[in-house]
C-alpha cells in the first residue's frame, strides 16, 4: 500500500493509533489469564511493537512513510535514552567487568565478515549494486538506525536497493530480537551448560533493584514535569549542540551519532548528581515510553508485501545473521560468559540503542542501562566497522 491508499494519514491520528497498540498489548500482557500469560511468555509484548504496525502498513491502515516517524526517531528516541542514562547506577554497572565488551566485539566481527561472505554466496542473484546495500545494512547491524543512515550516505545506496535492505533489517533483525527475548527463559540452563558464573550479574541486578525499591516514591506533578522537561528539552538542546559547525562531521560521525554520544556522556554525568533521584519517581519508565513508540515507527515503515520482490535479500540476511550468531556464541563458550552478555552484546550490534536496553531489561530488569551502553558502543565502533564491511563487499563485487 502507498501513502495515498492508507486509511489513517494525519500524523496525530497515526500517533494515537500507535499509542493504542502499545497500550492494548501491554494491558493484555498483564491480564490474569494463563493462556495469555503463556502466549506473551513466548511472544513478548515488545515483538508486537514491531509486527502490529508492520501488519497495519501492509493492509493499508497506516502509511509506510510519515513525518511522525521521523519525529519519533529524531526527538522521542533521544529523550527516552537520556532518561534511561540518568537512571544508570554506574558504579554497580562497572562491577560486571570487561567480559561483556569482549562478547560484543566478537559479535561485531561476525557482522563484518558475515556481510561479505553472505554477499559472495548470493551475488549471482542479487542486483548489480547490492554491495552498497551490504554497507547500509552493516551500519544498522553494528549500532542501529543512526549508523545505517550514515552508511546510506557513505555508500550512496540507491532507492531500489535500500527498500529491500530496510525490509531485511526489519524482518531478520526483529526476528532475532524475538529469539533473544524468548531465550531469557532459558538463561539459567544455558549458564549451567556453559559453566558461566551469573552471580555477579544477579548481585548487581538485585543491588540496583533494591536501591530503587527502597527509595521509590509516588509520582507527583512537579516530578513528572521535571522528567518530561529533562528528557525533551535536554535531548533537544544536545541535538542542537551536536549540529553546530564546530562539531566535526563526517559520513560516519553525523549529527545523530554525535547526539547519541553526547547524550550518553551527559546522562552518565547527571547520574552522579541528585538528578538521578528522578529515577525514584519512575524516570526510566517514562523513558521507555519514548523508546517503545520509536519501535512502532520502525515497524510502520516496513511492508510485508515487499518480501516477494526481494527474497534473495532476506536469504542473504539470514545467512549473514547466522555467521554473527556463530561468532558471538563461540566467544561466549570460550569466555564462559553468561547468556545475558550474549543478549546485550548481540543486540548492541544488531539492534543498537533502541532495542539493546529492552532486551537487557527482559533478562535482568534493572540492567537496561548496560544494554544502552552496548548500543552506544555499537554506535561508536559500528560506523567504522560498517565502512570496512561495505568495502569488503565492494571488493567482492569487483567495484
pLDDT-derived band at 271 (thresholds 50, 70, 90) equals: confident
Q: What is the dihedral of CA 135, 136, 142, 144, to 10 degrees?
A: 170
Contacts for 259-262 with beta carbons within 8 Å, 24 or more apart? 259/78, 259/235, 260/78, 260/81, 260/146, 260/353, 260/376, 260/379, 261/376, 261/379, 261/380, 262/238
Instruction: Considering only residues 383 and 115, tell me which one the structure prediction assigns the higher pLDDT.
Output: 115
CA-to-CA distance for 325 and 75, rounded, in angstroms?
32
If pLDDT is split at 50, 70 and 90, which confidence band does 197 have? Answer: confident
Long-range interactions of 273-278: CB distance < 8 A, separation 24+? 275/86, 275/230, 276/86, 276/87, 276/88, 277/215, 278/86, 278/87, 278/223, 278/226, 278/227, 278/230
Cell of 189: 540452563
Mean pLDDT over all residues of the chain? Answer: 84
Which pLDDT value is given to residue 1? 46
At 28, list the grid cell: 493484555
Residues 6+ apart with CB under 8 A from 44: 29, 178, 181, 182, 362
pLDDT in tens, 34-46: 888 878 766 777 7
Residue 307 burial by CB count (10 A; 0-12/13-18/19+): exposed, middle or buried? middle
Q: Is the pLDDT of residue 280 over 50?
A: yes
Which whole number is the average pLDDT over 373-378?
Answer: 75
Taking Cα atoms as reference points, which of 392, 395, 384, 342 lies closest to residue 142? 384
Q: How far apart (Å, rounded) are the C-alpha atoms in residues 160 and 165?
A: 9
Lowest mean pLDDT among 98-112, 148-162, 214-228: 148-162
Summarised one tens digit per residue, pLDDT across range 85-108 is: 787 777 766 776 778 889 999 999
* Distance separating alpha carbons of residues 122 and 143, to the nearest angstrom: 24
Alpha-carbon gap, residue 179 to 186, rounded angstroms = 11
Q: How many Å separate Cα 392 from the centre of its chain?
A: 25
- Quick check: helix, strand or coil at residue 19? helix
Helix boundaries (H) for the chain: 11-29, 34-42, 45-58, 67-71, 77-86, 90-94, 99-122, 130-141, 145-154, 159-183, 187-194, 199-215, 221-242, 255-271, 283-300, 311-335, 339-350, 356-363, 368-397
Structural contact between residues 230 and 82, judged by C-beta atoms closer than 8 angstroms: yes
Instruction: Report whether pLDDT(354) > 70.
Output: no
Q: Is the pLDDT reported for residue 188 higher than 80?
A: yes
> Using an 8 Å Cβ cutoff, are 51 and 298 in contact?
no
Amino acid at each position: 500500500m502507498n501513502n495515498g491508499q492508507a486509511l489513517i494519514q494525519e500524523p496525530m491520528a497515526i500517533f494515537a493509533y500507535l499509542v493504542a497498540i502499545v497500550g492494548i498489548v501491554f494491558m493484555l500482557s498483564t491480564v490474569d489469564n494463563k493462556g495469555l500469560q503463556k502466549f506473551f511468555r513466548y511472544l513478548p509484548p515488545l515483538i508486537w511493537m514491531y509486527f502490529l504496525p508492520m501488519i497495519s502498513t501492509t493492509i493499508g491502515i497506516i502509511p509506510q512513510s510519515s513525518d511522525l516517524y521521523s519525529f519519533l526517531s529524531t526527538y522521542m528516541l533521544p529523550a527516552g535514552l537520556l532518561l534511561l542514562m540518568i537512571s544508570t547506577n554506574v558504579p554497580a554497572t562497572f562491577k560486571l567487568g570487561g567480559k561483556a565488551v569482549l562478547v560484543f566485539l566478537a559479535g561485531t566481527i561476525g557482522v563484518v565478515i558475515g556481510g561479505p561472505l553472505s554477499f559472495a554466496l548470493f551475488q549471482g542473484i542479487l542486483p548489480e549494486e547490492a554491495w552498497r546495500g551490504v554497507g547500509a545494512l552493516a551500519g544498522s547491524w553494528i549500532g542501529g538506525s543512526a549508523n545505517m543512515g550514515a552508511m546510506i550516505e557513505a555508500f550512496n545506496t540507491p532507492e531500489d536497493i535500500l527498500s529491500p535492505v530496510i525490509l531485511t533489517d526489519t524482518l531478520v533483525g526483529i526476528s532475532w530480537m524475538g529469539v533473544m527475548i524468548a531465550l531469557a527463559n532459558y538463561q539459567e540452563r544455558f549458564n549451567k551448560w556453559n559453566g558461566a558464573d551469573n552471580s555477579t550479574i544477579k548481585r548487581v541486578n538485585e543491588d540496583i533493584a533494591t536501591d530503587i525499591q527502597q527509595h521509590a516514591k509516588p509520582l507527583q506533578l512537579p516530578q513528572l514535569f521535571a522528567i518530561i522537561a529533562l528528557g525533551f528539552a535536554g535531548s533537544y538542546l544536545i541535538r542542537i549542540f551536536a549540529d553546530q559547525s564546530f562539531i566535526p562531521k563526517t559520513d560516519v560521525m553525523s549529527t545523530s551519532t554525535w547526539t547519541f554520544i553526547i547524550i550518553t556522556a551527559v546522562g552518565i554525568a547527571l547520574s552522579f548528581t541528585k538528578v538521578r533521584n528522578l529515577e525514584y519517581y519512575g524516570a526510566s519508565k517514562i523513558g521507555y515510553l519514548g523508546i517503545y513508540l520509536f519501535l512502532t515507527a520502525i515497524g510502520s515503515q516496513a511492508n510485508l508485501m515487499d518480501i516477494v520482490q526481494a527474497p534473495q535479500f532476506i536469504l542473504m540476511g539470514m545467512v549473514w545473521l547466522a555467521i554473527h550468531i556463530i561468532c558471538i556464541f563461540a566467544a561466549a563458550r570460550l569466555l564462559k560468559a553468561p547468556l545475558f552478555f550474549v543478549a546485550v552484546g548481540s543486540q548492541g550490534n544488531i539492534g543498537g540503542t533502541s532495542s539493546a536496553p529492552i532486551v537487557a531489561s527482559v533478562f535482568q530488569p534493572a540492567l537496561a542501562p548496560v544494554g544502552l551502553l552496548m548500543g552506544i558502543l555499537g554506535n561508536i565502533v559500528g560506523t567504522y566497522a560498517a565502512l570496512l564491511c561495505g568495502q569488503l563487499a565492494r571488493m567482492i563485487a569487483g567495484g
